[in-house]
Structure 1
Amino acid sequence: MKKESILRNKSYAFAIQTVRLCQVLQSDKKEFVLSKQLLRSGTAIGALIREAEFGQSRPDFIHKMSISLKEANETDYWLDLLKDTDYISEESFGKLSQPCKELIAMLVATIKTMKGK
C-alpha cells in the first residue's frame, strides 16, 4: 500500500498546483475554456485515486486507476496546448508537466502490478 500512499500525496499536490495555475490563467490571462478543462482533468486524477482506495473489488480498483490514468494523459494534453499557444511559459509548463508525467508512470506501474496479481 506504500505506493498508493505516495501516489495519493503526489496527486493531491499536483491538484493544488493545477488549481493555482488555473486561477492565474483566469485572472491574468482571462482564459476560461482551456483552464476549466485543465482544472477538471488535473483535479480528477487525485479524486479517482482516492475513490479507488475504497474500490469494491480488485477489478473496480483497477478500473478507477485506469480512469485516473486517462485523466492524467488528458491533463498532459492540455498542458502541451497551453504551452504551445503561449498561455503558459516554459517554466510554468515544466512545473506541472514533469509531475504529470511522473503520475502517469506511477499509475501505469500500479495498474500493471494489480493486473499481474
Structure 2
Amino acid sequence: MVQDLKARTKKFAIDCGKLCRNFPHSREYNAYVNQLIRCSSSVGANYRASQRGKSTADFINKLKIVEEEADESHFFIELLIEMYDLEDESVKNEMIRLCKEANELVAIVVASINTAKSRLK
C-alpha cells in the first residue's frame, strides 16, 4: 500500500505538470498553473516525508499537509476548468480525472490520519 500510494502521489504530480502545458501563457494562467504545480508536487513530496516520520504525531502532521495540498490541487484544477474555454475534449477529461484523483487521495489520507490517531489513544 505504501509503495502504491508513493507511486500514485508522484504520478499525480507528474500528470498535473503535464496538464499545465495546455494553458495559454498569461499573468492569470501562470499564477494558477504555477500554484497547481507547487501544491500537486507537494502532495507526493510530503507523502514521501510522512513515511520517514520520527513519531506517530510527526506522521500525522505530514499527512495533514498532504490532505491540504491535495485539496488545494483540486481547487486549482476546478478554477482552471471554469476559466479555460475547454474545446479540447481530452484536456477536459484529464482535468476531470485529476479532480477525481485529488478527491480520492484526500479520502485515503484522511482515513490514514484517522487510523493513526486511533493508535495514539
TM-score, scaled relative to structure 1:
0.88
* Aligned twin of 1:12: 10
Contact in 1 for aligned 2:19/2:95 (Cα 8 Å): no
Q: Aligned equivalents of 1:72 and 1:43: distance in 2?
A: 9
Q: Aligned equivalents of 2:12 and 2:45: distance in 1?
A: 11
Contact in 2 for aligned 1:7/1:106 (Cα 8 Å): no
Corresponding residue to 2:39 among 38, 41, 44: 41
Contact in 2 for aligned 1:69/1:107 (Cα 8 Å): yes
Q: Aligned equivalents of 1:12 and 1:32: distance in 2?
A: 22
Instruction: Say whether 1:21 aligns with 2:19.
Output: yes
Corresponding residue to 1:91 among 68, 90, 93: 93
Q: Which blocks of at least 5 consecutive residues in structure 2 are unaligned?
A: none
TM-score, scaled relative to structure 2:
0.86
Change (3 A) 1:87 1:100: farther
SS in structure 2 at match of 1:32: helix
Q: Which blocks of at least 5 consecutive residues in structure 1 are unaligned?
A: none
Report how many aligned residue pairs link the two structures. 112
Measured against aligned partners, the alpha-carbon deviations of 1:18-64 in whole angstroms (never above 9, x if no partner) come to 11012332xxx113111000000011001000011111111000000
Q: What's the RMSD between the two structures over aligned residues?
A: 1.4
Q: Aligned equivalents of 2:92 and 2:19: distance in 1?
A: 13
Q: Aligned equivalents of 1:5 and 1:92: distance in 2?
A: 24
**Larger Rg over CA atoms:** 2
